[in-house]
Amino acid sequence: NAGVTQTPKFQVLKTGQSMTLQCAQDMNHEYMSWYRQDPGMGLRLIHYSVGAGITDQGEVPNGYNVSRSTTEDFPLRLLSAAPSQTSVYFCASTLDRDSGNTIYFGEGSWLTVV
Amino acid sequence: AQSVSQHNHHVILSEAASLELGCNYSYGGTVNLFWYVQYPGQHLQLLLKYFSGDPLVKGIKGFEAEFIKSKFSFNLRKPSVQWSDTAEYFCAVNGPGGSYIPTFGRGTSLIVHP
């Protein structure tokens, strides 16, 4: 049981390049989400999904795209990287909407856009 | 939408001092409440959580938190901090008020001097 797995852990991109951050969980969780963490800003929600085939925007969705074709995978795509997207990205999952479910985090992806 | 406020952005303490970090949330209905810790260079780890029952919750490493519904608060406490508690602390809320995707506060950076 690996939990939430994110790849890559580190990435440097040039402005305008595109890339995909991968996130997979093996706990059969319905809810998955992507956050970015910036100094003094805490964790801000980018996109989330409440089940396969269902995605929605969070607080800071611009410049990012997601899809949820399977329960396990929730990739985050940067369409045209900008320096403002330099950040640490965390994928998270939680079981379902019932009370009492803990949020599980991946180990983070450090992205630098130059 | 839910919001979470952490009032102390930076806290500096000496070892053995007592700690209290404030957290307030906006939604008045049933919520799940969490405190997460992020040690330097690492991902978020769960310290403690409240779902129902006893409003005084005990977590790992000697931390505890008290849920006060009338004040919409979930403050984190530790009677005697250690140098190893140096980290960033995040309060989070999920529940039916917005969605079951958790909302995080901006975090509190704690530095403990030996």
How crowded is residue A28: how many other Cβ atoms within 10 Å of its Cβ?
10
Helical ranges in chain B per DSSP H: none
Per-residue pLDDT of chain B (114 residues; tens, 9 = 90+): 678 999 888 999 999 999 999 999 987 677 889 999 999 888 888 899 998 889 999 999 999 999 999 999 999 999 999 999 999 999 998 765 445 678 889 999 999 998
B98 in A contact zone (CB under 8 Å)? no
Specify the amino acid at residue B61. K
CA distances A74 to A47, B1, B45, B82, Å, are 10, 23, 21, 38
CB distance B41 to B87 below 8 Å: no
> Which stretch of DSSP H or E encloses residue A19?
strand A19-25
The verdict on a CB contact (< 8 Å) between A40 and B90 is no
How crowded is residue A104: how many other Cβ atoms within 10 Å of its Cβ?
19
Interface probe with A: pick from B100, B103, B108, B109, most Cβ of A within 10 Å: B100
